[in-house]
Structure 1
Amino acid sequence: MPRVLVTGAAGFSGRTVARHLVAAGCEVIAHRRSTPLPDDLAAATAVTDWPGDLAELESLPAGLDAVVHAAATSTPTGRADAVPADVLIRDNALASARLVAAAKQAGVGRFVYLSSLSVHGSVRERSLDPGTPIRDPDPYGVSKLMGESVLAASGIPGLAIRLPAVIGPGADRNWPVQVVGRIRRGETVRVYNADGPFNNVVHVDDLASWVTALLLAPEPLPRFTAVPVACRAPIPVRAAVATIAAGLGLDAHLEEVVAPRGSFTIDTVVAEGLGFRPSETIAALDRFARSPD
């Protein structure tokens, strides 16, 4: 079975990917910078704890077949300036460049990079797909785009997955998490374009299942590809809030605000062509609301 390095294995998406890989019989080298691994991964015989700062990386453990790069420094939703740009560039762009260079030197055959929809910046289209133009991304988006660029230039067969809000037990910072918190506290939930379609979310288990399948597939990854992912079957924003409230068993109080531009949905056709199998939006939100912690 493959020997896989998972960076950010103590983080939300990284630890879920690592768990799925272990369940599939893979040997996992679990990278983390400072946060300890979850107890189940730390105790697993198939997991090797590998702490370190990727921005200072010089080489990788021997015998790796694949890399899943989930480590990143991100900004809270709605606070693009909360982390200095130089920190984002160091922790995301520089760290990715060091990792990609080391992976190429080590002969790694597959590389999956967890990127972000933030690379697109200001989206004016009604539907976002791999060809949607990139317009003025914020520093976080730039830092993730730079990571994509170094992977694309490396020649390593790789896939950059442009993530929306990722939800599941223990998720933090994104819009659905904020909605859960506001509903629990009895606060008003402000929504923009309440009747606009929404699928800007993916369940972490759907993501991890896909990554695992990509690494175990007999056919190699294609040359570098970057694709957005999301749930399928968009629902109105107000229905998304109502679904979360129903899953919590609580009432939601909405404040509807007209946004300066319409909302957009995310086209998953290309990702599904590569084996991605997303949940429907309403099912993913309901599942999350019933076990958010």
Structure 2
Amino acid sequence: MVRRVLVAGGAGFIGSHYVRTLLTGGYPAWADVSVTVLDKLTYSGNLASLAPVEGRFAFVRGDICDTELLSRVVPGHDVVVNFAAETHVDRSITGPDVFAQTNVLGTHRLVRAASEAGVGVFVQVSTDEVYGSIAEGSWAEDAPVSPNSPYSAAKAGGDHLALAYARTHGMDVRLTRCGNNYGPYQYPEKIIPLFVTRLLEGRKVPLYGDGLNEREWIHVDDHCRGIQLVAERGRAGEVYHVSGSTPLTNLELTERLLRALDLGSDRIEWVEDRKGHDQRYALDDSKLRALGFRPGTGFDEGLADTVRWYVERPDWWKPLLAAG
């Protein structure tokens, strides 16, 4: 049986990795699959990220807020995986409206369209940032959400709406929350590609505050494998954490990037801290590990491969910087 999968936000960083892996046999249980990518192609959506599987999926350019479009596109699919979101905290502070529009209203309209179309499984991809900041220990899936940025608040709103369809309508909605991702094809506004591309251009890197804010890091391939495991074996109405295996302060991460490019600390530019900057995130992923999940990419290996990719692929990232 061919499984028909709609990937919303499939031209973004994480979504495109999921699509490339899905269409190249990376998820054997879904070997027979038909994929539709729905993406608005905002500044961070890039069809060049799907070039390795060009011609193997149907593409629809559009907005998950577009009810009429969704009524045409969603029916006929067995699974919807929703990566579509505005995700950059800095942008949410200066321009929050689009975050509420896409992450709250868009998620609601997509899950409603899926419910009305009788889609079998809806996977909502979310973030650890919805929980706010944790001083020690780690969050379990039943921890209360306490978002501190317009981005994380909007994601929390979309999550609640998606889960409401599970509770109200009995829809099979499964939700994943993950830490900081890294890997190839990430738009150069997030810290790793931003810093690597700036360093490659001979510029300094802006480090917020004292640099001691801590994040958990996970390779995008591990994240997508976690999402796929939830899509295959998760339970309706449940939340699953996909935890990063390597906690690092932003300063520690910056120092690793500098060493990878054989550069010194003189390339750091200390800048005023971001408003509402969460100090630390940490997820307990024992629930997903009980399904058999294990990270497959060690951080040192993954970071080296990622830096090498950006060094070798200015053809991909330089046009993005030029376009602003």
TM range (shorter): 0.7 to 0.9
Aligned to 2:18: 17
Give, in whole Å, the separation in 1 of the partners of 2:203 and 2:46. 34
Instruction: Identify which of 66, 77, 95 aligns with 2:79.
Output: 66
Going from structure 1 to structure 2, the CA distance change for 1:282 and 1:237 (only over 3 Å counts) comes to farther
Going from structure 1 to structure 2, the CA distance change for 1:256 and 1:98 (only over 3 Å counts) comes to closer
Aligned to 1:166: 181
State the TM-score, normalized to the length of structure 2: 0.75
CA deviations on 1:213-264 (whole Å, 9 max, x unpaired) are 444x3x4x3122223433214356544333323333433445789x999645
Instruction: Identify which of 210, 218, 241 aligns with 2:226.
Output: 210
Percent identity between matched residues is: 25
Instruction: Identify which of 306, 314, 324 aligns with 1:288.
Output: 306
Aligned to 1:28: 35
- 5+ residue gaps, structure 1, are none
Equivalences, count? 285
SS at match of 1:81: helix
Give, in whole Å, the separation in 2 of the partners of 1:150 and 1:160. 11
- 5+ residue gaps, structure 2, are 26-30, 314-324
SS at match of 1:49: strand
Give, in whole Å, the separation in 2 of the partners of 1:138 and 1:262. 13
Going from structure 1 to structure 2, the CA distance change for 1:255 and 1:56 (only over 3 Å counts) comes to closer
Map residues 1-293 of structure 1 onto 2, 5 A cutoff.
Answer: 1-24=2-25, 25=31, 26-34=33-41, 37-38=47-48, 40=51, 43-45=54-56, 47-58=57-68, 59=71, 60-75=73-88, 77-85=89-97, 87-121=98-132, 123-129=133-139, 130-155=141-166, 156-172=171-187, 173-184=189-200, 185-187=202-204, 190=207, 198-215=214-231, 217=232, 219=233, 221-235=234-248, 237-253=250-266, 263-278=280-295, 279-292=297-310, 293=313
SS at match of 2:80: strand
CA deviations on 1:132-182 (whole Å, 9 max, x unpaired) are 443343222121112111211112323322233321112132222333245
Give, in whole Å, the separation in 2 of the partners of 1:146 and 1:195. 29
Cα pair 1:65 1:108 within 8 Å, conserved: yes
State the TM-score, normalized to the length of structure 1: 0.82
TM-aligned CA deviation for residue 193 of structure 1: 6.3
TM-aligned CA deviation for residue 13 of structure 1: 1.3
TM-aligned CA deviation for residue 48 of structure 1: 0.9
Give, in whole Å, the separation in 1 of the partners of 2:39 and 2:82. 11
Going from structure 1 to structure 2, the CA distance change for 1:109 and 1:248 (only over 3 Å counts) comes to farther
Return the letter of the residue paired with 1:268: D
